[in-house]
């Protein structure tokens, strides 16, 4: 099974582009922006201003290219490594940052942005996208749901249940597996004996598509097809985007313990941004000044988002009791009173 | 009012909910064509169609997880898990996602779903079919746990659970499904979640029970009345949040409390009742609080199951201990 590829590493097209040049330029600015965010978030973590952070460097095309194929009101259910896809679908940088700062408001995107807070547990969230899409199908809204997960998540039992439900009920769900080679230290080869993850779709009656995850145009093309299928009522698609995370699992991990430098260097040569840049260069649609301007503007926007997130005062003591239910129960009110100084008796 | 058993009362509640609100859908194993293994959903698929009463693959995590997604999208799903002992494959969905989404999104997303689960033993079923592990769920933040003991309470509480803006685990006592009949209000009718009911007034001691044990608590109260002992009986109805006000008021009034639960003893519902009474009514107590519970053993199979489920005799004996000088 050869992965779908449209844009070669050297920047030339292997077939017709699914996007006009101006749109590729727009998505290139998105790639530059999300990489700037990823680097900024890592820096903030090292300064102690963010909790543990999961970098996505190397996976920008897989996230930006797939999210670009969505309607603004489509549902997205993603993970802790998918900030780029979430931002593309309207989740603001400051909200993403708040989550990493350890504030529950980081899980609350603005009204109209149908993106759930990132799943921290691995694998249980894919079935949520099945339920979301199923509900929209029942109501005939035309909305679909996309879910992102890694190669490791396909070993969880919930991957099977989600794919099976999506197959049986033909739910409008797009499954995007970013096969980035690693589940912390466990390599893709040892994660499953399947030759590909895409082929697992066959067992559920769900088409599986293998795509070069570092090719912006191929990822967009495959996702647009899957989204269109879902919207037409033809059911779910499993997309395997083959990519590589360039960084460690998180800022708390040391990838040098399990990945050799040669592998990393090989993947650096396939950088998802560089090949789009080469393509734009060849088409005369790129200049160093333009990229510099884009990066400068993005950095300023992200810096402003950091400022907004850090300026937001923490919740007051006892606020957790307000977040459990629509209205706190008497039991929770008694516990809040205990926390705030009335003592344990009566809680 | 119509006389109904609990299975009929629950069926009636589900029919009312499906008829009144397009957002209500039901999903679970065998809930449609066969009407569920206990026939609680009998006739509903025929009446409301397979798009709203959905037979699912055998996948408890999938059932809970899909219902969770539907609820976030604005539906009012009512999922059924066949037995409490089969709910554990869906446990991670409940604990890690269903009970957390309101908190982790600061109210931006909510999951108003109901998970109906038959629980408890007493019908000589196979292993895993007689569990009373409700304390696991009562211990979980962000979900409410309801356990009616009578047909009328079952209907009123199920409709309240479906209306509730937050997730509710709704536990149905298996051996009560067809054991009791009583008058049940017709049409839409709700009872408040989080409120216990004094179902029998008394002055000498308080029996606190729920689910199938409510009936045995009533029988124990009858036996005690024969000895001239006046027992008050409280039906907890909701296990989380527990109604401390009703429990404590009764404890202050009678001075003696027997907390009854079919669940395992350690860290169980009866333990929580005992702790509440100790914290808030200690100086009114005339005797230590007694617990009458299932043991910390695996629920025995049919031949010795009765050694595990609290008997009327065990309740009466514990009640008499509280009356000793």
Task: Tell me if A346 and B279 make a contact (CB, 8 A cut-off).
Answer: yes
Residue A32 and residue A181 in one domain: yes
Token digits of residue A165: 């439900």
Residue ranges of chain B with pLDDT lower than 50? none
Residue A286 and residue A153 in one domain: yes
Residue A207 and residue A337 in one domain: no
Residue A297 and residue A323 in one domain: no
B129 is catalytic: yes
pTM of the model as a whole: 0.97
Q: What is the pLDDT of residue A205?
A: 98
Domain count, chain A: 2
Q: What are A40-63's pLDDT values in tens digits?
A: 999 999 999 999 999 999 999 999
Q: What is the pLDDT of residue A344?
A: 62
User: What part of B 98-137 touches A (C-beta under 8 Å)?
Assistant: 101-110
State the average pLDDT for chain A: 96
Give domain status of residue A13, yes or no: no
Of B92, B103, B142, the CB nearest to A124: B92
Q: What are A287-331's pLDDT values in tens digits?
A: 999 999 999 999 999 999 999 999 999 999 999 999 999 999 999
Report the CATH number at residue A119: 3.40.50.970
Q: Work out the percent of chain B whose per-residue pLDDT is above 90.
A: 100
The catalytic residue among B97, B129, B264, B308 is: B129
Q: What is the pLDDT of residue A15?
A: 95
Domain that holds residue A206: 21-314
Task: Tell me if A131 and B66 make a contact (CB, 8 A cut-off).
Answer: yes
Domains contained in chain B, CATH given: 2-184 (3.40.50.970), 197-323 (3.40.50.920)
Size of interface A-B (CB pairs under 8 A): 143
* DSSP string of B138-177, one letter each residue: HTSTT-EEE---SHHHHHHHHHHHHH-SS-EEEEEEGGGT
Pick from A127, A159, A173, A337 the residue to mutate for testing the B interface (most B CBs within 10 Å): A127
Task: Tell me if B65 and A162 make a contact (CB, 8 A cut-off).
Answer: yes
Of A131, A139, A323, the CB nearest to B69: A131
Residue A196 and residue A323 in one domain: no
Give domain status of residue A10, yes or no: no
Residue B89 distance to chain A (closest CA, Å): 10
Query: Among residues B190, B188, B145, B192, which one has the least CA distance to residue B170?
Result: B145
Task: Give dist(CA A342, CA A335) in Å, integer.
Answer: 9
Task: Tell me if A157 and B61 make a contact (CB, 8 A cut-off).
Answer: yes
Find, in chain B, the residue whose alpha carbon is nearest to that of A109.
B108
N-to-C CA span, chain B: 46
Task: Give dist(CA B281, CA B255) in Å, integer.
Answer: 8
Residue A245 and residue A321 in one domain: no
A249 is catalytic: yes
Q: Give all strands (DSSP E) within chain A, no chain letters.
A: 75-77, 145-150, 173-179, 182-183, 186-187, 208-212, 237-242
Q: Among positive and negative, which fits the CA dihedral B171, B50, B164, B19?
A: negative
Beta strand pairing call for A75-77 and A145-150: parallel
Average pLDDT (A100-121) is: 97
Give domain status of residue A255, yes or no: yes
Residue B93 distance to chain A (closest CA, Å): 7
Find, in chain B, the residue whose alpha carbon is nearest to that of A124.
B93
Task: Give dist(CA B238, CA B175) in Å, integer.
Answer: 19
Contacts of B144 in chain A (CB under 8 A): 325, 329
Give domain status of residue A196, yes or no: yes
């Amino acid at each position: 099974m050869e992965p779908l590829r449209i844009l070669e590493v050297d920047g030339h097209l292997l077939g017709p582009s699914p996007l006009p040049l101006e749109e590729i330029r727009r998505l290139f600015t998105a790639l530059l922006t999300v990489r700037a965010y990823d680097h900024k978030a890592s820096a903030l973590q090292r300064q102690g201003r963010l909790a543990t952070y999961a970098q996505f460097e190397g996976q920008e095309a897989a996230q930006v290219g797939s999210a670009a194929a969505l309607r603004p009101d489509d549902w997205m259910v993603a993970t802790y490594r998918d900030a780029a896809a979430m931002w593309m679908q309207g989740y603001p940088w400051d909200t993403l940052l708040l989550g990493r700062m350890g504030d529950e408001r980081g899980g609350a995107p603005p009204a109209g942005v149908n993106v759930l807070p990132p799943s921290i547990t691995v694998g249980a969230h894919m079935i949520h996208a099945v339920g979301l899409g199923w509900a929209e199908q029942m109501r005939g809204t035309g909305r679909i749901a996309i879910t992102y997960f890694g190669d490791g998540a396909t070993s969880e039992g919930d991957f099977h249940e989600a794919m099976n439900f999506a197959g049986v009920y033909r739910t409008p769900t797009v499954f995007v597996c970013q096969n980035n080679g690693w589940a912390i230290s466990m390599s893709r080869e040892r994660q499953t004996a399947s030759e590909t993850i895409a082929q697992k779709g066959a067992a559920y009656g769900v088409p599986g598509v293998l795509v070069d995850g570092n090719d912006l145009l191929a990822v967009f093309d495959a996702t647009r097809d899957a989204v269109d299928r879902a919207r037409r009522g033809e059911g779910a698609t499993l997309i395997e985007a083959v990519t590589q995370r360039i960084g460690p699992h998180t800022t708390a991990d040391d990838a040098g313990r399990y990945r050799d430098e040669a592998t990393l260097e090989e993947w650096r040569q396939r950088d998802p941004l560089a090949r789009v840049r080469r393509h734009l260069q060849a088409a005369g649609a790129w200049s160093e000044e333009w990229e510099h301007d884009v990066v400068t503007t993005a950095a300023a926007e992200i810096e402003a988002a950091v400022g907004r997130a850090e300026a937001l005062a923490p919740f007051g003591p006892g606020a957790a009791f307000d977040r459990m239910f629509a209205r706190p129960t008497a039991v929770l009110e008694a516990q809040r009173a205990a926390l705030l100084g009335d003592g344990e008796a009566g809680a | 009012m119509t006389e109904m058993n609990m299975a009929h009362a629950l069926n009636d509640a589900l029919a009312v909910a499906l008829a009144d609100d397009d957002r209500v859908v039901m999903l679970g194993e065998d809930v449609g064509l066969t009407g569920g293994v206990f026939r609680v959903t009998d006739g509903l698929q025929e009446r409301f169609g397979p798009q709203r009463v959905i037979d699912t693959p055998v996948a408890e995590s999938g059932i809970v997880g899909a219902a969770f997604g539907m609820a976030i999208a604005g539906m009012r799903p009512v999922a059924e898990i066949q037995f409490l002992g089969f709910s554990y494959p869906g446990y991670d969905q409940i604990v890690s996602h269903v009970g957390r989404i309101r908190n982790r999104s600061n109210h931006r997303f909510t999951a108003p779903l109901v998970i109906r689960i038959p629980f408890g033993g007493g019908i000589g079923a196979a292993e895993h079919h007689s569990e009373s592990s409700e304390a696991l769920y009562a211990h979980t933040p962000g979900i409410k746990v309801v356990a009616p003991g009578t047909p009328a309470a079952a209907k009123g509480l199920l409709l309240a659970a479906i209306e509730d803006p937050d997730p509710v685990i709704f536990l149905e006592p298996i051996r009560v499904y067809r054991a009791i009949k009583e008058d049940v209000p017709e049409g839409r009718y709700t009872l408040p979640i989080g409120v216990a009911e004094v179902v029998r007034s008394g002055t000498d001691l308080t029996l606190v029970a729920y689910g199938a044990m409510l009936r045995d608590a009533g029988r124990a109260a009858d036996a005690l009345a024969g000895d001239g002992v006046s027992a008050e009986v409280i039906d907890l109805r909701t296990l989380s949040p527990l109604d401390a006000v009703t429990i404590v008021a009764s404890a202050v009034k009678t001075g003696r409390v027997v907390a009854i639960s079919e669940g395992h003893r350690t860290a169980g519902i009866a333990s929580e009742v005992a702790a509440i009474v100790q914290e808030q009514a200690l100086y009114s107590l005339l005797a230590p609080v007694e617990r009458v519970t299932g043991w910390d053993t695996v629920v025995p199979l049919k031949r010795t199951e009765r050694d595990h489920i609290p008997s009327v005799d065990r309740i009466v004996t514990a009640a008499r201990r509280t009356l000793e000088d």
